[in-house]
Amino acid sequence: MRRDPSPDSTDMSKLLLAWFLDNQRSLPWRDDPSPYAVWISEIMLQQTQVVKVVPYFEKWMARLPDPESVARAEEETLLRLWEGLGYYSRVRNLQKAAQKIVRDHAGTLPRDEKALLKLPGIGPYTAAAILSLAYNIDVPVVDGNAERVAARLLDLDQPVKAPSTHRIIREKLKVWLPKGHARNFNQAVMELGATVCTPALPACGTCPVSSWCLALKNNTVLERPVKVPRPSTVSLIASVGILRDTDGLVYIQKRPPDGLMANLWEFPGGILKSKEYPEDALRRAMLEELGVKVRIGGKLGKVRHAYTRYRVWLHVFRCELEPPAQEITPQTAVEGRWTHMDELYRFAFPSAHRRIIDKLL
Ligand code: SF4
């Protein structure tokens, strides 16, 4: 028999909780659901999958075990620990928030939503996660997994990201949440979405709440949740120069403190213009970015990189100053330096440039 999950949801919630206790994955922030661990994991998990986050989280916690250590860490240390996770404004906000936590909250994340929302980088979702997963306060947490589970249980036919749908989902989760069990219940809903009620191939046959699922009843599972089409992807091609001097040192430069990938180091280069060859684009970029002429010595390879809605191909060339005695004057970078190849690990690079170092050099 299938039942509407509202208004009486007690049995459904009980089954879901029992299923979670038997089936949850072991994750480091679950083993230690301290407010600090929950906060760090939630910020890392924004736009990033669990399997990728686990080693970053473990490394971070070993190096920076509390808000005090984050508050006083060097920016280069934070960027290096974050390197590869992308969306670097997150790690800068983490430090600003940590400094505020130390200054205004004696080094402990507040238990109060209003105070949490005043911390840089913490929005309603992260605040709810900290309150419920760390402090076990009865508030629902609505991430993408919870949205999908709720949209299917309720067979919602409105776009799931619309504010009105979000409100419905939040209200329903509030009703379904058994008092005093916020930590486990919210994790149970998200875990169900991550491991059973998955986007493409939900395992309805093993789902603990299938008896209540209206989408299953109405045969609309794969049509739920209703999504609005994403903006189309943009393809870009760029050239990157591995500029070496006569001593074998390589030139790197630091991006400005504002904007995309702020303060990260990179190899110089630029986006190809229409109908431009990669080699020509590189010569032009070196002249525009560094004020120097270069001789291109050979192609090292190609690296593909995707971020937000961009798909970027990087053509990587070895090159040298021609003539050799030219002074580099960075135009947009805040700093440039020649460094040994085996010192490159000390600097924080965007993922694509780290891949150049790992794969091509
Ligand atoms: Fe998701 Fe299927 Fe369970 Fe419904 S029955 S909640 S669609 S896994």
Section 122-128 average pLDDT:
96
CA distance 38 to 76: 23
135, with CB counted inside 10 A (0-12, 13-18, 19+), is middle
Instruction: Indicate if ligand 1 lies below 6 Å from the C-beta of 316.
Output: no
- Non-local (6+) Cβ contacts of 118 within 8 A are 100
Indicate if ligand 1 lies below 6 Å from the C-beta of 154: no
Which amino acid residue places its CA nearest to atom 4 of ligand 1?
A: 213
From the CB of 189, is ligand 1 less than 6 Å away? no
Ligand 1 pocket member 5 (CB < 6 A): no
Is 193 exposed, middle or buried, given 0-12, 13-18 or 19+ CB atoms closer than 10 A?
Answer: buried
pLDDT of 9: 75
Nearest residue to 218 via CA among 152, 140, 282, 285: 152
Provide the pLDDT for residue 1: 46
Pocket test for ligand 1, best of 192, 195, 207 (most atoms within 8 A of CB): 207
- Catalytic site residue 83? no
For Cα atoms 299, 305, 310, give the angle at the middle one, nearest 5 degrees: 125
> Ligand 1 pocket check: which of 9, 190, 209 to mutate, most ligand atoms within 8 Å of Cβ?
209
The Å distance, Cα 160 to ligand 1 centre, comes to: 16
Atom from ligand 1 closest to the CA of residue 224: 7
Residue 215 Cβ < 6 Å to ligand 1: yes
Q: Encoding tokens for residue 266?
A: 């990179």
Q: How far is the CA of 188 from the centre of ligand 1 (A)?
A: 13
Which range (10-19, 31-40, 233-242, 352-361) has the least confidence? 352-361
Q: Ligand 1 atom closest to Cα of 213?
A: 4
Residue of 42, 83, 191, 266 marked catalytic = 42
What does the mean pLDDT of the chain come to? 93
pLDDT at 7: 44
Mean pLDDT of the region 17-39? 95
Q: How far is the CA of 219 from the centre of ligand 1 (A)?
A: 11
Q: 195 phi and psi, to 5 degrees?
A: -115, -25
Range in 167-176, 224-233, 261-270 the model is least confident about: 224-233
The residue assigned the tokens 């309603």 is 124
The ligand 1 atom at the shortest distance from the C-alpha of residue 196 is 8
% of the chain at pLDDT higher than 90? 81
Closest C-alpha among 141, 203, 228 to residue 213: 203
Separation of CA 142 and ligand 1 centre (Å): 17
Given a cut of 90, whether residue 258 has pLDDT beyond it is: no
Start-to-end CA span in the chain (Å): 62
* The pLDDT of residue 6: 52
Could you read off the pLDDT of 44-72 as tens digits, one per residue? Answer: 999 889 999 999 999 999 999 999 999 99
pLDDT (mean) for 134-159: 96
Model confidence pLDDT, tens digit, residues 207-222:
999 999 999 999 999 9
Give yes or no for residue 216 CB within 6 A of ligand 1: yes
Residue 214 CB less than 6 A away from ligand 1: no
Cα distance between residue 85 and residue 51, in whole Å: 12
Dmax over CA atoms of the chain, in Å, equals: 82
Nearest residue (by CA) to ligand 1, atom 5, is: 210
CA–CA separation, 4 vs 216, rounded Å?
11
Enter the pTM of the model: 0.77
Distance from the alpha carbon of residue 187 to the mean position of ligand 1, in angstroms: 16
Q: Which of 3, 19, 149 gets mutated to test ligand 1 (max ligand atoms within 8 A of its CB)?
A: 149
221 CB near ligand 1 (under 6 Å): yes
